[in-house]
Structures are given as structure tokens and as C-alpha cells.
Amino acid sequence: MTAYLVSPRYATGNSRSSNRYRCRARLARCGARMFIDPRKPVTVDQLIKGMEVQSGNDACIALAEAVAGSEEVFVRLMNREAMRLGMAGTHS
């Protein structure tokens, strides 16, 4: 669902895949696979690759924050989209 929500948003030009984001330090403790250094900005493209190729929780959280501002708001977006798709038994 993260990839589903992130991909269309960046494909429509609402944000650029080359935009750089600074990630919070706590991402290193959340099942990190990308091992994002909070001192170095990463691009949306890098985060998407980290999410898709490495199944990186750190990349997913960083993308959620980039898209929705917070994990909590992104979860609401995911739940709303799941309901719209008829996935009534799915929620976070």
C-alpha cells in the first residue's frame, strides 16, 4: 500500500522524485535496511528503491512522512484508499 500511494503522487508532478529529504534519527531503529544517515539528505528515488528492493522499513517511514507529513496521517490515507478499493478487512 505504501508503494501504491507513493508512486502515483510522485508520478503526477505533485513532488519531484529528485527532491531531497532529511530523515529523522529514529529511523535507524525501525527495521532499517537502507541505514539512512539523518545527517545526509536522500532523494525520493533512493527511498523508493530502498522500499522496493530492500524492503526497508526506514525507507517506508521516510516516504510516509514525505508524502503525508507524519506516519499517522499516512496510515489514515492508506486506510481510506483500502476502503475505496473495497478492502474492507484491511486496516493499520
pLDDT of residue 10: 62
Average confidence score pLDDT of the chain: 77
pTM of the model: 0.70
Complete DSSP assignment for 47-92: HHHHHHHH--HHHHHHHHHHHHSSHHHHHHHHHHHHHHTT-TT---
Bridge partners, 60 (sequence order)? none
Residue 92 lies inside a defined structural domain of this protein: no
Query: Which residues span the domain enclosing 69?
Result: 2-84
Q: Is residue 89 one of the residues assigned to a domain?
A: no
Q: Does a structural domain hold residue 90? A: no
**Structural domains counted in the chain:** 1
Q: What is the pLDDT of residue 70?
A: 87
Question: 74 burial class (0-12, 13-18, 19+ CB within 10 angstroms)?
Answer: buried
The verdict on residue 45 lying in a domain is yes
| 48, part of any domain | yes
Is residue 91 a part of any domain in this protein? no
pLDDT truncated to tens, each residue of the chain (92 aa)? 888 888 766 655 555 566 666 666 666 566 666 777 778 888 888 888 888 887 778 888 888 888 888 889 999 999 999 899 898 777 66
